[in-house]
């Protein structure tokens, strides 16, 4: 009887601990960025391509310095909070220092890839180093990034 009660307690505790998933905060920019990309992929899987494109093409989805962008199979941007970035030619992905980061982004796999380049922050317009997490999923590239503090 004691063994059964102890086993039940251990299993209950294990289930409780397994259910407690830490949600990253903005104080953990890399983990927070990765969670935004995972949320976008989840939305894509649940709602479909058009719904996820519509969702992330809205400026309301900018969270301070964070936003999600989606690039199509052909390398052209299909979702971005800035309408002028939608349809962007992959050959134009050059940062303020002249670094061409387009091929790096399109080199992402299902496992994900970090790409760093210089870009303007949506909340301040300041040009600074951005670290972007990109995951290829179902032929699309889902990305988001965080900016270094000065």
- Is the residue at 115 inside a domain? yes
- Is the residue at 8 inside a domain? no
- Is the residue at 5 inside a domain? no
- Is the residue at 125 inside a domain? yes
Is residue 67 exposed (0-12), middle (13-18) or buried (19+ Cβ within 10 Å)?
A: buried
pLDDT tens for each residue of 3-17: 544 444 444 444 444
- Is the residue at 18 inside a domain? no
pLDDT tens for each residue of 61-99: 998 889 999 999 999 999 999 999 999 988 899 998 999
- Is the residue at 3 inside a domain? no
pTM of the predicted model, to two decimals?
A: 0.83
**CA atoms of 137 and 121, how far apart (whole Å):** 26
**CA atoms of 80 and 68, how far apart (whole Å):** 7
- Is the residue at 11 inside a domain? no
Range of the domain at 129: 25-147
In the chain, how many domains are there? 1
Read off the CATH number of the domain in which 72 is found: 3.30.450.20
Strands of the sheet containing 113-120, edge to edge, are 77-79, 68-71, 140-147, 127-137, 113-120
**CA atoms of 71 and 14, how far apart (whole Å):** 40
pLDDT tens for each residue of 98-149: 999 999 999 999 999 999 999 888 888 889 999 999 999 999 999 999 999 8
């Amino acid at each position: 009887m004691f063994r059964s009660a102890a086993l039940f307690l251990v299993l209950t505790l294990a289930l409780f601990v397994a259910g407690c998933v830490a949600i990253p905060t903005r104080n953990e920019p890399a983990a927070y960025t990765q969670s935004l990309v995972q949320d976008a992929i989840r939305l894509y899987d649940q709602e479909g391509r058009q719904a996820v494109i519509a969702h992330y093409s809205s400026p309301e989805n900018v969270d301070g310095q964070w936003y999600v962008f989606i690039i199509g199979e052909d390398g052209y941007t299909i979702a971005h909070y800035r309408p002028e970035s939608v349809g962007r030619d992959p050959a134009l992905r050059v940062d303020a220092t002249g670094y061409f980061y387009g091929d790096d982004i399109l080199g992402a796999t299902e496992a994900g890839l970090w790409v760093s380049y210089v870009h303007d922050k949506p909340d301040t317009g300041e040009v600074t180093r951005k670290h972007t997490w990109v995951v290829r999923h179902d032929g699309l590239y889902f990305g988001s990034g965080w900016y270094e503090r000065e």
